[in-house]
Structure 1
Amino acid sequence: MADRQPLPPSPSTKRKLEDDAPEPAVEKKRKIKKAKTPRQRPGEDFDDTQGLNLAIGRMDSQELITYVDSRTKQFEPKISEMELEDQRLLVKSIKDTSLWQETRDKQHMPEFLENVASESLSEAAKSHGSPHTLVVAGAGLRAADLTRALRKFHSANGAVAKLFAKHIKIQESIDFCKRKRITIGVGTPQRIIDLLENGALSSKDLKRVVIDASHVDAKRRGILEMKDTLNPLVKLLNTPLLRDRFTDGSTTVIFY
């Protein structure tokens, strides 16, 4: 019997074989994720290289109040206008420093303070724990940096005091304030509140409260842009010991 030749595949079989064949490999393009740039809001103009919100330095007293109100409403959406009014600083309590042209970084803070002060910043009151200036920062590490930057005002009769929680226990701060004359106190809002309420820190010779507001982190967040720092700051500025001094003009608030 002659060998039977295999029949050619039928059209339907041929289509099935083609359908079952593996798809040729397609090289997928790797997607490169771009770093998101935080959304910029009114009152913000960032220098990411220096870590600064440049807009803060250009605001006058009323604009600063409006900016703080806007951030408060963002973090406390249910706050009433009456509650907002109760904690709002008076325009006359805030010193307008918008004419200052230098960069508001830690290196220029000593020069800035000398510009806004009429007295020698190296002279301390005779009473212990009674600074003429309080500098308020958003975090302990930033407060430590500012303390080092302000060392030029540390003198034989007055210290530049570290008033923050990072590595410093509250009792250590209390003991320091009770036994030292202080020119400038640098700290975080809650630690300063605790020391004022304890009585270790006095406000009777206080001439200015300087808020380190221009400094921001890599995510463009500063002391005014985070709930965890803005709320304690607002609380500090509304403590009766300070609020009364802001009202009668004995102490001014300065946004750096």
Structure 2
Amino acid sequence: MALHRGDDLDDDFMPDETVALSEDEGFGSLIGDQDDIGKLLSADEEEDAESSTERTKTFLEKKRKRREKEKERKAKESSQRIGEPPLRGVASPTMISEYLSTMQAKSFSKMSALELQDRQIPETSIMDTTTWTGSRKLDTLVVFIVQAVPSLHTRLMQKTKSFGAPTLLFLTGAALRAADVTRTLKNKTLQGEKGAGVAKLFAKHCKLEDHTSYLKKTKIGSAVGTPGRVGKLLCNSGEDVNALSVSALTHIVLDMSYHDAKQRCLLDIPETRDEVFKMVLGAPQVMERLKAGKIHIVLF
């Protein structure tokens, strides 16, 4: 058999048209495939760019939401600090009792849970003032007492029998505020014709012995003062004992609606808080009447 090599083809050999066409199509197809690959790569790059943009938008949106939540949290903390519920008394006696217990524990940080429980203010001794829907400001104090604490209003209109024995004890955090509250409580709507006067009990411009002398010879229906001065008058010893008597006391109002320059209320200030729980509410004669249900706490 004769073997044929490429050189054995005739010099005038011409490829078949079908074969030639097949070869051209193969080359053109290759070029087309390259174009398609390029298009696919471009599409992928565009998709990657779009995906990157979406991821950036998602990240920024999550960051914005985190900032908003943090802002809301700080606003909530600030609101609670300056006297939102339960500080303004718009919560139930149960919630207020829990709040007072928490504040009391800060003042008696070295006491055991059992010791604290013995000093805890009974929930039954906390007035429920949730029926009051108005604001708790000085200009609404009179109406607040008349409508939300009618039992106190009734007693304030009655004649006082003993010297230095108020029915109402109003505790506030500043001398200037005490003076303003005193003027408000002198309202005839509260006192009527028989009601007694209102005592101002704070250290500014008045010595302790002057207050003691005043209380021993004056019949008062209400006493307004700072916890420090009121506490000293309750805890006096010797001949000055019981200068400020609790024999007729039925209500103690904690002024939670007043705030100092740092937006702190009565129980936010460590020194004032200690005076409230150690010297006033913690005074043996006061605690005894609180546990017996003879004195009620009101948050204003």
TM (norm. structure 2) is: 0.64
Equivalent runs, 1:146-161 vs 2, <5 Å = 146-152=181-187, 153=190, 158-161=196-199
| CA–CA separation in structure 2 for the residues paired with 1:73 and 1:189 | 18
Aligned-partner residue type, residue 103 of structure 1: S
Map of 2:136 onto structure 1: 104
Map of 2:219 onto structure 1: 181
| CA–CA separation in structure 1 for the residues paired with 2:212 and 2:258 | 28
* Match 1:233 to one of 276, 279, 291: 276
Contact 2:108 2:116 in 1 (8 A): no
Label 1:192 to 1:77 Cα distance change in 2 as closer, same or farther (>3 A): closer
| CA–CA separation in structure 1 for the residues paired with 2:75 and 2:245 | 39
| CA–CA separation in structure 2 for the residues paired with 1:179 and 1:131 | 13
Contact 1:61 1:94 in 2 (8 A): yes
Q: CA deviation at 1:95?
A: 0.9
| CA–CA separation in structure 1 for the residues paired with 2:95 and 2:207 | 37
- Larger RCO, structures 1/2 (Cα 8 Å, 6+ apart): 1
Secondary structure, aligned partner of 1:254: strand
Q: Report the aligned-residue RMSD.
A: 2.5
* Match 1:245 to one of 271, 281, 289: 289
Q: CA deviation at 1:196?
A: 2.1
Structure 2, unpaired ranges of 5+: 1-72, 236-240
Largest Rg, 1 or 2: 2
Q: CA deviation at 1:76?
A: 6.0
Aligned sequence identity (%) = 32
Q: CA deviation at 1:255?
A: 1.1
| CA–CA separation in structure 1 for the residues paired with 2:221 and 2:167 | 6
| CA–CA separation in structure 2 for the residues paired with 1:173 and 1:63 | 36
Contact 2:173 2:258 in 1 (8 A): no
| CA–CA separation in structure 1 for the residues paired with 2:206 and 2:99 | 32
Aligned-partner residue type, residue 108 of structure 1: T
Map of 1:66 onto structure 2: 98
Map of 1:114 onto structure 2: 146
Between Structure 1 and Structure 2, the one with more helix by share is: 2
1:174-226 Cα offsets, whole Å, 9 max, x none, are: 11111111010001112112222331111111111111122222322011111
